[in-house]
Structure 1
């Protein structure tokens, strides 16, 4: 009986379909028998790779389905067959090489989408590849200097990096890189904007004098120290709004008010940037009375008076003496009985420049 079986079964052949599989794709191994004539013998089959049995071991099925082949599954394959009464037959070895596809079209997305996130919220950076097989290494980077945030290696086309609680310092540009043994492929830059709600604003009243009076122009300045621009400010008098002003680039804003007697009372302001509004504390403004009209008096004209010392001649007797065209000193000539006896007597002249100041009542 045994020689007859050997004649009927001339050999085995292992067939792989497909013969050159791509990573991640399924493969079917078929152990095919070659015989001279038809036989009703029941065979048991077993498949091997590099001396290791595959699947469930010995089975009545001549086929073995492998759900996904990976680069590390490349190797030498064969199959064996036997019956209860025959010896084991072995197929020739077949080399199966699994092809790896390089990563391509790397992209970076955010959750929440759009790249805008509230301070304190969760931010997820999702790195994806359109194509690529095998174990893919994903790397996330922050800023132009490329600060590496995290590295993950997994058999997937996407990977995530999470910032559980976003802070203001997380506002930056980000990108990711993916590679699977070939050249690394980077994504484009994604800008992250951290939206910050406004803090409680501070209201400051600025008047032209220590005690404001009717007719003064009062400046109300409202400022929230923190908050993403643009910020809109509303101004209130006794909880009734009377004006608004915006700060497109952040910071504070002002509103000018010409005071009347009805403007005494409590003032406050409110800041909002679409992420919630905050109201300032109330500031009390009281008036001291009406402004007094002040009459403007002309400036006094300086007066010049000349005083002579004792024994000085009258002003009509004084004659100026010039040197090089400039007055040098004042002298007078005392005239006696005889015109030939003329004696020049030096006289001291004091000139005072007096200015009179007027004080308003």
Structure 2
């Protein structure tokens, strides 16, 4: 009886030994990369006539079981391995109706990490253009890289470190909640997953800010600007992001345009004339906002002589413009009339000499008061001289009258010739009276 029991036990043990050969644990892929899935397979070769025996499996990492309980599948999958998953693994198997377990030998799994590459820095808003007070996001990303990646953000060419983050991701973000003007700078980032940091390119950030109202200043060499002075017009805005476009106005006309990439002020020199009196202003534009300065009045003083000349010239210009043809015709007529002989003398007129009164001894002599002088221009010669004859006619005596002895007979006709009388000696009125 006892012998039969021992024989049965030996048979069972032999069957078990024949059924369960030591399993072998293999990895697929055999040399996994970090982040990729890995399949663990527990391979066992039962004897051919016992292949229908149902088996159960369990997998281990060092001393820690990877799953609770037993599984009828000979495979176990790790969805994404990390470098830290590199370790020794093994498995065990048993039949369903037996508690006897057969263990595999330990196998070492080495997980390879992929270095980061193609590091880049992007911004939001895109293009690195952000308005003062808005949020700015700096996005650092890598095209390749496995495992935990540490990201760094730097400001300026000297590399002022702003932030550091470690995460299992190909991208990471750094946020500036409210941008200031001092944040306008160049930025770059770096990424490292254990193979050394890789740097991105430099990205410039431009902080746009609205311009404040500009102030226009007129700088003259004296308190009262006069014609010929050079006045400096200076327009400046206390705040405003570059580049800036300045415009100077005289009344509503643009005097000057000036664009400056940096700085807050610009000047413009103006050489004054009388027409430059009036109101001046300037405006500034940076593409986001347009601001206009207050109006500044400039009075340009004109010297007295110049003012009179300008007034006379203005009046004459107006008269000639409206009455030009008529005035020219009138002036021509006056000139022609004077050319003919109606000239104005400078000196007062000279009266013709009065004849000397002598009492006639003739009985029938005429009354001396009745002698009539007659003036006649003999001829007009070139130059300023005019030749004239003056006649004095006396009435003849009666034919019956006897001429007294010792007396002289007066000429019937006497004449005096005045020559080279200057034309200045006669006025128009005197000349007509003489005629």
User: TM-score, normalised on structure 2?
Assistant: 0.60
1:28 corresponds, among 22, 25, 39, to 39
Q: How do 1:259-278 and structure 2 match up within 5 A? A: 260=274, 263-265=277-279, 267-278=280-291
The 1:34–1:288 alpha-carbon spacing in structure 2 relative to 1, beyond 3 Å, is: closer
* 8 Å contact from structure 2 (residues 273, 300) kept in 1: no
Q: 1:47 maps to what in 2?
A: 59
2-side partners of 1:126 and 1:148: how far apart?
A: 15
Q: Distance between the aligned counterparts of 2:203 and 2:276, measured in 1?
A: 54
Structure 1 alignment gaps of length 5 or more: 296-361
Does structure 1 residue 58 correspond to structure 2 residue 70? Answer: yes
Aligned equivalent of 2:193, options 142, 158, 180: 180
2:30 is matched with 19
The equivalences for 1:100-115 within 5 A come to 100-115=113-128
Matched with 1:141 is: 154
Residue 186 of structure 1 and its aligned partner are, at CA, apart by 2.8
Alignment match, 1:74: 86
Change (3 A) 1:271 1:54: same
More deviation in 82-91 or 92-101? 82-91
Q: CA deviation at 1:258?
A: 4.6
Look up the SS of the partner of 1:58 in the other structure: coil
Q: Secondary structure at the match of 2:23?
A: strand
- Rate the CA distance shift 1:154–1:220 in 2: closer, same or farther, 3 A: same
Q: Within 1, Cα distance between the matches of 2:306 and 2:300?
A: 17
Change over 3 Å in CA distance of 1:173–1:10 after alignment to 2? same
Instruction: Please state how far the C-alpha of 1:35 moved relative to its aligned partner.
Output: 0.9
Residue 227 of structure 1: aligned partner: 240
> Is this contact kept in 1: 2:274–2:302, CA < 8 A?
no
Kept in 1, the 8 Å contact 2:228–2:271? The answer is no
Partner residue in 2 for 1:190: 203
Mapped to 1, the partners of 2:298 and 2:161 lie a distance apart of: 60
Of residues 207-216 and 106-115 in structure 1, the stretch that sits farther from structure 2 once superposed is 207-216
CA contact (8 A) 2:277 2:300 kept: no
- C-alpha separation between the residues in 1 aligned to 2:213 and 2:165? 42
Q: Deviations over 1:174-208 (max 9, x none)?
A: 33232222233333333333333322211123345
Aligned pairs for 1:194-273 (under 5 A) are 194-212=207-225, 219-236=232-249, 240-248=252-260, 249-255=262-268, 256=270, 258=272, 260=274, 263-265=277-279, 267-273=280-286
**Distance in 1 (alpha carbons) for counterparts of 2:154 and 2:299:** 60
Secondary structure (helix, strand or coil) at the match of 2:45 reads strand
Is the CA contact 1:245–1:253 (under 8 Å) kept in the aligned structure 2?
no
> As a proportion of its length, which structure holds more helix?
2
- What is the CA distance between 1:214 and its match in structure 2? 7.3
Structure 1's 217 and 181: CA in aligned 2 closer, same or farther, altered over 3 A? closer
Identify, as 1 or 2, the structure richer in strand.
Answer: 1
- Secondary structure at the aligned position of 2:182 is classed as helix
CA RMSD of aligned residues (A): 3.0
For structure 2, which runs of at least 5 residues remain unmatched after alignment? 1-10, 308-435
**Aligned equivalents of 2:88, 2:76: Cα separation in 1:** 15
- When normalised by structure 1's length, the TM-score is 0.71
Q: Deviations over 1:13-49 (max 9, x none)?
A: 2121011111111001112221111433332221110
Is the Cα contact below 8 Å between 1:217 and 1:259 reproduced in 2?
no
**Bigger Cα displacement from structure 2, 62-71 vs 221-230:** 221-230
The Cα shift of 1:5 comes to: 4.5
Number of the residue aligned with 2:164: 151
Whole-Å separation in 2 of the counterparts to 1:162 and 1:210: 55
Which entry has the higher C-alpha Rg, 1 or 2? Answer: 2
Q: Secondary structure at the match of 1:34?
A: coil
DSSP-derived class of the 1:7 partner:
helix
